[in-house]
Amino acid sequence: MFVLRNTKKTVVFQRLILNNYMDFITPKPIVSPISGQTVRPVLKTYVRGNKKIVEAEYIDPASGSFIRKGIVSVEDVPEKNKENN
């Protein structure tokens, strides 16, 4: 577990074991380093174990080349009550 200390609050990040280690990012439009066009992220959501992971992926619109990828959020998935099935 990593702890980053700020002057006003303490933020705790839990280390995730994923296929490739990615940074937490804020999904926002960026300028493509390949074509110079505006690139908007494509959000992908999947569940791994008991975690719901949302990723943002940036693909150049002109060439279709991969630019970058990062984690937007990680949330716990509540377990379903077996009696209600």
Please write the tens of the pLDDT for every residue from 32-79.
999 999 999 999 999 988 899 999 999 999 999 999 999 999 999 887
Does 34 reside within a domain? yes
Domain coverage including residue 79: 18-84
Asked if the structure places residue 22 within a domain, the reply is: yes
As for how many domains the chain has, the answer is: 1
Residue 17: is its pLDDT beyond 60?
A: no
6 belongs to a structural domain: no
Residue pair 34/25 in contact (Cβ under 8 Å)? The answer is no
Check pLDDT > 80 for residue 85.
no
**Per-residue pLDDT, 9:** 39
pTM here is: 0.65
Give domain status of residue 28, yes or no.
yes
